[in-house]
Structure 1
Amino acid sequence: MTPTSISVHLVEVLEDEALTVQDLARGARMQPEWVVTHVEAGVFQPCAGGAAAEWRFTTTTLQRARRIAQLEHSFDADPQLAALAADLMEEVAVLRQRLQRNI
Protein backbone atom coordinates (compact mmCIF):
# COMPACT_ATOMS: atom_id res chain seq x y z
CA MET A 1 0.00 0.00 0.00
CA THR A 2 1.19 3.47 -0.75
CA PRO A 3 0.90 6.10 1.94
CA THR A 4 -1.79 8.68 1.39
CA SER A 5 -1.25 12.34 1.85
CA ILE A 6 -3.50 13.85 4.47
CA SER A 7 -3.89 17.57 4.61
CA VAL A 8 -3.88 18.82 8.17
CA HIS A 9 -5.66 22.04 9.02
CA LEU A 10 -4.92 23.68 12.33
CA VAL A 11 -8.00 24.97 14.06
CA GLU A 12 -7.80 27.58 16.76
CA VAL A 13 -10.03 26.63 19.64
CA LEU A 14 -11.74 29.75 20.90
CA GLU A 15 -13.15 30.37 24.32
CA ASP A 16 -16.89 30.80 24.26
CA GLU A 17 -16.55 34.55 24.86
CA ALA A 18 -13.71 35.21 22.45
CA LEU A 19 -15.37 36.51 19.28
CA THR A 20 -14.69 40.15 18.46
CA VAL A 21 -16.88 42.44 16.38
CA GLN A 22 -14.74 41.60 13.35
CA ASP A 23 -14.98 37.85 14.04
CA LEU A 24 -18.76 38.03 14.40
CA ALA A 25 -19.09 40.11 11.23
CA ARG A 26 -16.85 37.75 9.26
CA GLY A 27 -18.76 34.72 10.55
CA ALA A 28 -22.08 36.25 9.50
CA ARG A 29 -20.61 37.46 6.19
CA MET A 30 -21.46 41.04 7.06
CA GLN A 31 -19.54 44.24 7.78
CA PRO A 32 -18.45 45.19 11.32
CA GLU A 33 -20.76 48.22 11.13
CA TRP A 34 -23.67 45.79 10.77
CA VAL A 35 -22.72 44.17 14.08
CA VAL A 36 -22.38 47.55 15.83
CA THR A 37 -25.77 48.68 14.52
CA HIS A 38 -27.40 45.47 15.71
CA VAL A 39 -25.84 45.74 19.17
CA GLU A 40 -27.04 49.33 19.44
CA ALA A 41 -30.55 48.19 18.42
CA GLY A 42 -30.50 45.47 21.10
CA VAL A 43 -30.48 42.58 18.62
CA PHE A 44 -27.13 41.23 19.88
CA GLN A 45 -25.77 41.42 23.41
CA PRO A 46 -22.01 41.45 23.93
CA CYS A 47 -21.02 39.26 26.85
CA ALA A 48 -17.99 41.41 27.66
CA GLY A 49 -16.45 44.77 26.91
CA GLY A 50 -17.52 48.38 27.25
CA ALA A 51 -16.63 50.04 23.96
CA ALA A 52 -17.25 48.41 20.58
CA ALA A 53 -13.55 47.60 20.19
CA GLU A 54 -13.70 45.60 23.44
CA TRP A 55 -16.97 43.74 22.84
CA ARG A 56 -16.82 39.96 22.95
CA PHE A 57 -19.48 37.55 21.75
CA THR A 58 -20.26 33.88 22.26
CA THR A 59 -20.51 31.23 19.58
CA THR A 60 -24.26 31.17 20.25
CA THR A 61 -24.39 34.83 19.20
CA LEU A 62 -22.54 33.86 16.02
CA GLN A 63 -25.24 31.31 15.18
CA ARG A 64 -27.88 33.93 15.87
CA ALA A 65 -26.06 36.52 13.74
CA ARG A 66 -25.90 34.11 10.81
CA ARG A 67 -29.62 33.37 11.09
CA ILE A 68 -30.55 37.06 11.35
CA ALA A 69 -28.30 38.03 8.43
CA GLN A 70 -29.93 35.33 6.33
CA LEU A 71 -33.45 36.47 7.28
CA GLU A 72 -32.61 40.09 6.53
CA HIS A 73 -31.16 39.16 3.17
CA SER A 74 -33.76 36.60 2.09
CA PHE A 75 -36.84 38.52 3.17
CA ASP A 76 -35.52 42.09 3.25
CA ALA A 77 -36.51 42.01 6.91
CA ASP A 78 -36.04 44.82 9.38
CA PRO A 79 -33.38 43.89 12.02
CA GLN A 80 -35.96 43.82 14.83
CA LEU A 81 -38.31 41.62 12.79
CA ALA A 82 -35.45 39.29 11.86
CA ALA A 83 -34.47 39.08 15.54
CA LEU A 84 -38.05 38.23 16.50
CA ALA A 85 -38.17 35.52 13.84
CA ALA A 86 -34.83 34.15 15.06
CA ASP A 87 -36.14 34.10 18.65
CA LEU A 88 -39.20 32.15 17.55
CA MET A 89 -37.12 29.71 15.51
CA GLU A 90 -34.86 29.09 18.52
CA GLU A 91 -37.87 28.57 20.80
CA VAL A 92 -39.41 26.07 18.37
CA ALA A 93 -36.11 24.15 18.31
CA VAL A 94 -36.04 24.02 22.13
CA LEU A 95 -39.65 22.84 22.28
CA ARG A 96 -38.97 20.14 19.69
CA GLN A 97 -36.00 18.90 21.73
CA ARG A 98 -38.17 18.72 24.84
CA LEU A 99 -40.85 16.86 22.97
CA GLN A 100 -38.31 14.32 21.65
CA ARG A 101 -37.02 13.69 25.18
CA ASN A 102 -40.55 13.04 26.44
CA ILE A 103 -41.50 10.62 23.67
Structure 2
Amino acid sequence: MATVSVTTGTVVSASQPLALRELAHACGADTAWVIELVEVGIVQVSVPDAAPERWQFESDALQRALDARRLERDFGVGLDAAALILDLQHEVRRLKSMLRAHGLQRGV
Protein backbone atom coordinates (compact mmCIF):
# COMPACT_ATOMS: atom_id res chain seq x y z
CA MET A 1 0.00 0.00 0.00
CA ALA A 2 1.44 3.37 -1.05
CA THR A 3 1.39 6.41 1.22
CA VAL A 4 0.67 9.76 -0.36
CA SER A 5 1.49 13.06 1.31
CA VAL A 6 0.01 16.30 0.10
CA THR A 7 1.69 19.54 1.06
CA THR A 8 0.26 22.93 0.36
CA GLY A 9 1.97 26.26 0.62
CA THR A 10 1.18 29.92 0.53
CA VAL A 11 3.38 32.52 -1.07
CA VAL A 12 4.01 35.43 1.26
CA SER A 13 5.43 38.60 -0.23
CA ALA A 14 4.94 42.33 -0.22
CA SER A 15 2.32 41.88 -2.92
CA GLN A 16 0.71 38.88 -1.17
CA PRO A 17 0.84 39.47 2.60
CA LEU A 18 -0.86 37.27 5.18
CA ALA A 19 -4.00 38.36 7.02
CA LEU A 20 -4.34 38.01 10.81
CA ARG A 21 -6.22 34.69 10.59
CA GLU A 22 -3.77 33.31 8.02
CA LEU A 23 -0.76 34.12 10.21
CA ALA A 24 -2.47 32.58 13.23
CA HIS A 25 -3.31 29.44 11.25
CA ALA A 26 0.25 29.15 9.88
CA CYS A 27 1.56 29.17 13.47
CA GLY A 28 -1.08 26.83 14.87
CA ALA A 29 -2.34 29.61 17.12
CA ASP A 30 -5.38 31.78 17.55
CA THR A 31 -5.73 35.41 16.51
CA ALA A 32 -5.43 36.63 20.13
CA TRP A 33 -1.90 35.18 20.23
CA VAL A 34 -0.95 37.06 17.05
CA ILE A 35 -2.37 40.26 18.53
CA GLU A 36 -0.08 39.71 21.53
CA LEU A 37 2.88 39.31 19.14
CA VAL A 38 2.11 42.73 17.71
CA GLU A 39 1.65 44.26 21.18
CA VAL A 40 5.07 43.05 22.40
CA GLY A 41 6.78 44.01 19.13
CA ILE A 42 7.67 40.57 17.82
CA VAL A 43 5.89 41.25 14.54
CA GLN A 44 4.97 44.47 12.80
CA VAL A 45 1.84 45.22 10.83
CA SER A 46 1.86 47.21 7.62
CA VAL A 47 -0.81 49.67 8.85
CA PRO A 48 -0.60 49.91 12.67
CA ASP A 49 -3.70 52.09 13.02
CA ALA A 50 -5.95 49.59 11.22
CA ALA A 51 -8.28 47.24 13.07
CA PRO A 52 -6.72 43.80 13.66
CA GLU A 53 -9.05 42.22 11.08
CA ARG A 54 -7.39 44.43 8.46
CA TRP A 55 -3.76 43.78 9.50
CA GLN A 56 -1.38 42.35 6.93
CA PHE A 57 1.92 40.60 7.56
CA GLU A 58 4.91 39.96 5.31
CA SER A 59 7.19 36.91 5.29
CA ASP A 60 9.54 38.23 7.99
CA ALA A 61 6.55 38.43 10.36
CA LEU A 62 5.72 34.79 9.62
CA GLN A 63 9.28 33.69 10.40
CA ARG A 64 9.42 35.70 13.65
CA ALA A 65 6.01 34.37 14.69
CA LEU A 66 7.12 30.78 14.04
CA ASP A 67 10.33 31.42 15.97
CA ALA A 68 8.35 32.86 18.90
CA ARG A 69 6.03 29.83 18.84
CA ARG A 70 9.05 27.50 18.94
CA LEU A 71 10.57 29.42 21.88
CA GLU A 72 7.28 29.15 23.77
CA ARG A 73 6.93 25.44 23.02
CA ASP A 74 10.53 24.30 23.45
CA PHE A 75 11.66 26.53 26.31
CA GLY A 76 8.45 27.70 27.96
CA VAL A 77 9.30 31.38 27.58
CA GLY A 78 6.68 34.11 27.56
CA LEU A 79 6.25 36.47 24.66
CA ASP A 80 8.18 39.30 26.35
CA ALA A 81 11.19 37.00 26.75
CA ALA A 82 10.71 35.67 23.20
CA ALA A 83 10.79 39.25 21.88
CA LEU A 84 14.09 39.89 23.67
CA ILE A 85 15.61 36.60 22.48
CA LEU A 86 14.59 37.23 18.88
CA ASP A 87 15.98 40.77 18.97
CA LEU A 88 19.28 39.53 20.41
CA GLN A 89 19.52 36.77 17.77
CA HIS A 90 18.92 39.35 15.05
CA GLU A 91 21.62 41.62 16.48
CA VAL A 92 24.15 38.76 16.69
CA ARG A 93 23.47 37.85 13.03
CA ARG A 94 23.86 41.51 12.03
CA LEU A 95 27.15 41.87 13.88
CA LYS A 96 28.53 38.60 12.47
CA SER A 97 27.61 39.80 8.99
CA MET A 98 29.49 43.04 9.59
CA LEU A 99 32.54 41.12 10.82
CA ARG A 100 32.47 38.85 7.76
CA ALA A 101 32.16 41.87 5.48
CA HIS A 102 35.30 43.32 7.05
CA GLY A 103 37.13 39.96 7.11
CA LEU A 104 37.41 40.02 10.90
CA GLN A 105 35.47 36.89 11.90
CA ARG A 106 37.40 33.71 12.70
CA GLY A 107 35.55 30.52 13.62
CA VAL A 108 32.76 32.29 15.51
Do they superpose with TM above 0.5?
yes
- Report the CA distance shift for 1:97/1:89 in structure 2 as closer, same or farther (over 3 A): same
- Report the CA distance shift for 1:54/1:33 in structure 2 as closer, same or farther (over 3 A): same
Counterpart residue identity of residue 13, structure 2: E
Structure 1 stretch 90-99 or stretch 30-39: which is displaced more?
30-39
2:36 — aligned with what?
A: 37
2:13 — aligned with what?
A: 15
Counterpart residue identity of residue 15, structure 1: S
- Work out the CA distance in 2 between the residues paired with 1:16 and 1:34: 23
1:4 — aligned with what?
A: none
How many matched pairs? Answer: 95
The answer (yes or no) to whether the contact 1:28–1:69 under 8 Å persists in 2 is yes
Identity among equivalent positions (%) equals: 31
> 1:73 deviation in Å?
1.1
Gaps of 5+ in 1: 1-8
State the TM-score, normalized to the length of structure 2.
0.73
Report the aligned-residue RMSD.
Answer: 2.3
- Work out the CA distance in 2 between the residues paired with 1:95 and 1:60: 19
Aligned ranges for residues 75-86 of structure 1 at < 5 Å? 75-86=75-86
1:72 — aligned with what?
A: 72
Gaps of 5+ in 2: 1-6, 104-108
Report Cα offsets for 1:9-29 as digits up to 9, x if no partner: 997644326111122112223
The answer (yes or no) to whether the contact 1:48–1:57 under 8 Å persists in 2 is no
- Work out the CA distance in 1 between the residues paired with 2:72 and 2:12: 27
State the TM-score, normalized to the length of structure 1.
0.76
